[in-house]
Amino acid sequence: MSASTQPQQGLGDAAHALNDHGIWQDILPDVNPSQLKGQLEVRYPQASITPVVEPHRDEVQQEPEIYFHGGEGLESDAKYTLIMTDPDLMKTNDPLDKQVRHWVQPGLTSSGSGKLTATRGPHTSFLPSAPMPMTGPHRYVFILAKESRDIGTGERGGEADFKERLRFVAQDFINKNGLTVVGVTAMKVAPTAEAGKEDVKLMGESAKHMVTG
């Protein structure tokens, strides 16, 4: 994929695509799509995420780069937080475990070239997509929001085990931290056998941490 590739989808079309996949209703009920400032692009080495694409799980394992295009753009003197969340752990819009917090990267700034750069460590480190077998395709939602105050690095330098990432609610995090959503994109990723193995490993690590503290 060329580094200069930009999403061709219009802002209105993107908002409709997100709506068709339940993103506003299930994940961002307090957000009006009209407040979006442009097109958020999450760029993996093998896949560019604009709403709503369906990459293979193997294509979205490395920590991606974040870009923002068109619209009103981003403020050069502001900082932004990127949130990646999965609301479909065991079933679509899982009511028990809520969302899985895959990534929270605060302190992003825009250079004007479209690419965002982190000025501090993650609140929650990046966890690749690993939808469990027999749970159907999962929605992975990326949210870019303007900060009204600094969001610090999480415990252990942003590291969090699988159990600590459960029961996340992106809208509550946004409201609690005074964030204003400016861009949203999403992808759907189907389960694979390798994803199942990764899930077993993550749950084992969580169990170990409960015993050892």
How far apart CA 148 and CA 180 sit, in angstroms, is 8
**Confidence tier at 75 by pLDDT (50, 70, 90):** very high
Give the C-alpha separation, 35 to 146, whole Å.
Answer: 12
**pLDDT at site 7:** 43
Confidence at residue 111, expressed as pLDDT on a 0 to 100 scale? 79
Q: What is the pLDDT of residue 5?
A: 38
* 202, pLDDT greater than 90: no
Mean pLDDT of the chain: 88
CB of 93 within 8 A of CB of 135? no
Q: Where do the domains of the chain lie, and which CATH numbers do they carry? A: 11-212 (3.90.280.10)
Tokens of 5: 């590739």
Res 1: pLDDT: 40
Task: Please give the structure tokens belonging to residue 199.
Answer: 């899930």
Encode pLDDT of 133-170 as tens digits: 999 999 999 999 999 998 877 767 688 888 899 999 99
pTM listed for this prediction:
0.88
Angstrom CA distances, 167 to 88, 90, 102, 209, stand at: 11, 12, 12, 18
pLDDT-based confidence at 205, cuts 50/70/90? low
